[in-house]
Homo-oligomer: A and B are copies of this chain.
């Protein structure tokens, strides 16, 4: 399948020799079936939906998800194989979730026919994404709520300095649930960093459908942490500044940029891929393929890759904290939470930026400027080298590495998450995450650890500030299609053997025993327990010497798994965090590891549930799920804003190419 459409793309490339700037053309003239919905398409969807419901209802409709309904995989691949002679796109459709009369309605809207082609009311557990506006409306409610104002006054504080932030409630076995957020409030008064000043002991619950406070608790009084030392804004920091001083760089590419962008298709060095943007997933990398000079064509590597979920459970079972077990992607949306990237700070000066759009509460488009950046990166690494000192004259050949990085930042309340998709000319894709931003902290009476008796679930960071222990589990959806759709997951186990040959002085060695996963249960892996190389292979494609084409996973930092008990409610909902690696057969409906409706979910639509069907996965179109996990014991360096902690993993070609694909890469011209 891939071999035909890749040829087409070469034709496209050769007809496109323009440099950098983003070629958008007519906003609705799509170049590619995976292009995200444009602002006018989002408007069109809104209009169609509002027309469908009756007059009374239409003002009460709230939008919770509007995104491209990807064409089915066969349709998409067939379009690709016929493009550009067949420039007609498959029908443009949107998948929409709206709330009306306390129900979640799922709609598929056909944009060409201006009609709703499918309608369904979700009857299962859980609720869709919270939209930004309802969060904002909800967090204003406490500020005019009498009992809350009274609590603030009693503490001698000023309600005009209060800011509240709503976390999802989770589910703890209750029969009936409500679409609600639980609010904790914070105090500014002299700092931007209100998250470091919790008004500990006060909790409000807001019914978000009704936008009403439905519960109020002022349970305990705890000293308010000081504002002093919490500021992070350059313009507001106290002297002296600039410590340590870093001399930054300016850089230039004498040969120009190597990045070519046409609509949402990105081409760089030997790579090409489609870059989408989704309210829930944020950036979506599709149809990533790499040009193979020996085969004279682009070869498929990854059909689709994106974050699927991010689960952040806190480790404090007490009344104000037990519920803090958020699912940032499924409850808040990585795209909705995308931060506009700051040029020359979030991304280097040579970065180019993509805009992001999603639907707001009213269904109208919301614009995220600079939602994604792409930059070529002279990584400082050596791509390959060798010094041959054994010859009469020493030979040194060395190549500096340049890679291409696709970056987004997702800010959910206090935390900032950096996501990097790095494409290397050697064929590797490195997925990196960085954790920065502000810790979730708890107000406490302590000013020194020697006052602490028992387990306080965290670390004392400053007077009255406890950084609470927690985890971050990122699960990535990686629909690898190594040279086509029929793939298998292979564990190459390294097994110690005793030497049986009496003539050998050696007593042992290890060898590779390959185990192809037949069904899903064979493919659940906890990293670090067994020495094994994990490879996705195409069992139908072999190199000349006869090795199966493959890509393997190289784990990096942050490969922890969940330590919660299996029967604990948050763990049931975030069950993907039990393993680092899962493999499932491709199913268009299985994209979100914690389920389609995550808020108040009950764990009945998760990766673990699907995987326990134990379907066959050998020689199938399979999806690899990788969980990157981090147990965070806070430390004082994380106060008042955290230096980035980075981790990630690498997908690396393994017998995918006949030989080193960067053997003939050009040395830098400055050599």
Residue interface mask A539-564, B partner, CB < 8 A = 1:
00011111100000011110110011
Q: Are A257 and B247 in contact (CB under 8 A)?
A: yes
Q: Are A379 and B380 in contact (CB under 8 A)?
A: yes
The distance from the CB of A530 to the nearest CB of chain B, in whole angstroms, is 10
Name A545's contact: one of B386, B462, B638 (CB within 8 Å). Answer: B462
Interface residues in A388-431 (C-beta closer than 8 Å to B): 388-391, 394-402, 405, 409, 411, 413, 416, 418, 425-428
Taking CB atoms, residues of chain B closer than 8 Å to A659 are: 229, 462, 636-637, 639-640
Q: Are A437 and B546 in contact (CB under 8 A)?
A: no
* CB-CB nearest in chain B for A548: B449
Taking CB atoms, residues of chain B closer than 8 Å to A469 are: 509-512
Chain B CB within 8 A of A40 CB: no
Interface residues in A500-537 (C-beta closer than 8 Å to B): 501, 503-512, 527-529, 531, 533
Q: Are B641 and A663 in contact (CB under 8 A)?
A: yes
* CB-CB nearest in chain B for A668: B248
Q: Are A345 and B242 in contact (CB under 8 A)?
A: no
The distance from the CB of A98 to the nearest CB of chain B, in whole angstroms, is 24
Taking CB atoms, residues of chain B closer than 8 Å to A342 are: 385, 396, 398, 671
Q: Are B528 and A529 in contact (CB under 8 A)?
A: yes
* Distance in angstroms between the alpha carbons of A88 and B559 in the assembled complex: 51
Chain B CB within 8 A of A375 CB: yes
Taking CB atoms, residues of chain B closer than 8 Å to A639 are: 659-660
The distance from the CB of A631 to the nearest CB of chain B, in whole angstroms, is 6
Name A246's contact: one of B165, B241, B413, B425 (CB within 8 Å). Answer: B425
* Distance in angstroms between the alpha carbons of A377 and B659 in the assembled complex: 31
* Distance in angstroms between the alpha carbons of A232 and B401 in the assembled complex: 16
Q: Are A637 and B654 in contact (CB under 8 A)?
A: yes
Name A506's contact: one of B446, B506, B569, B667 (CB within 8 Å). Answer: B569
The distance from the CB of A502 to the nearest CB of chain B, in whole angstroms, is 11
User: A345-B399, A509-B315, A657-B637 are known contacts. Are A237 and B664 too (CB-CB below 8 A)?
Assistant: yes
Taking CB atoms, residues of chain B closer than 8 Å to A316 are: 509
User: A436-B385, A494-B631 are known contacts. Are A506 and B317 too (CB-CB below 8 A)?
Assistant: yes
* Distance in angstroms between the alpha carbons of A494 and B315 in the assembled complex: 11
Q: Are A139 and B390 in contact (CB under 8 A)?
A: yes
* CB-CB nearest in chain B for A247: B258
The distance from the CB of A133 to the nearest CB of chain B, in whole angstroms, is 12
Q: Are B246 and A665 in contact (CB under 8 A)?
A: yes
Residue interface mask A302-334, B partner, CB < 8 A = 1:
000000000000011111001100000000000
Chain B CB within 8 A of A90 CB: no
Q: Are A245 and B258 in contact (CB under 8 A)?
A: yes
* CB-CB nearest in chain B for A670: B344
Q: Are A246 and B636 in contact (CB under 8 A)?
A: no
* Distance in angstroms between the alpha carbons of A401 and B173 in the assembled complex: 45
Q: How many residues of A contact B (CB 8 A)?
A: 184
Name A664's contact: one of B241, B270, B317 (CB within 8 Å). Answer: B241
* Distance in angstroms between the alpha carbons of A426 and B641 in the assembled complex: 12
Name A318's contact: one of B413, B504, B633 (CB within 8 Å). Answer: B504
* Distance in angstroms between the alpha carbons of A450 and B173 in the assembled complex: 56
Chain B CB within 8 A of A496 CB: yes
* CB-CB nearest in chain B for A246: B402
The distance from the CB of A101 to the nearest CB of chain B, in whole angstroms, is 29
Name A656's contact: one of B637, B645, B656 (CB within 8 Å). Answer: B637
The distance from the CB of A229 to the nearest CB of chain B, in whole angstroms, is 6
Interface residues in A362-385 (C-beta closer than 8 Å to B): 375-385
* Distance in angstroms between the alpha carbons of A571 and B319 in the assembled complex: 53
Stretch with Cβ within 8 A of B (4 or more), from A69-77, A118-126, A453-461: A453-461
* Distance in angstroms between the alpha carbons of A375 and B379 in the assembled complex: 12
Chain B CB within 8 A of A438 CB: yes
* CB-CB nearest in chain B for A426: B643
Q: Are B460 and A546 in contact (CB under 8 A)?
A: yes
Taking CB atoms, residues of chain B closer than 8 Å to A507 are: 564-565, 567-569
Taking CB atoms, residues of chain B closer than 8 Å to A376 are: 247, 249
Chain B CB within 8 A of A492 CB: yes
- Most chain B beta carbons < 10 A, residue from A434, A457, A510, A569: A510
* CB-CB nearest in chain B for A471: B510
Chain B CB within 8 A of A499 CB: yes
User: A462-B545, A506-B317 are known contacts. Are A411 and B384 too (CB-CB below 8 A)?
Assistant: no
Q: Are B317 and A499 in contact (CB under 8 A)?
A: yes
Name A398's contact: one of B345, B447, B635 (CB within 8 Å). Answer: B345
Q: Are B508 and A564 in contact (CB under 8 A)?
A: yes
The distance from the CB of A212 to the nearest CB of chain B, in whole angstroms, is 21
Taking CB atoms, residues of chain B closer than 8 Å to A564 are: 496, 507-510
14 chain-A/chain-B pairs, Cβ below 8 angstroms: A232-B663, A240-B664, A249-B376, A382-B644, A384-B642, A385-B409, A397-B641, A426-B643, A529-B529, A533-B631, A554-B645, A555-B557, A635-B655, A640-B659
The 10 closest A-B pairs by CB, nearest first: A528-B528, A449-B546, A172-B505, A508-B565, A345-B398, A247-B258, A244-B270, A251-B251, A426-B643, A315-B509
Given contacts A249-B350, A386-B437, A512-B633, 6 further A-B contacts (CB under 8 A): A163-B390, A194-B390, A315-B509, A322-B506, A383-B644, A641-B660
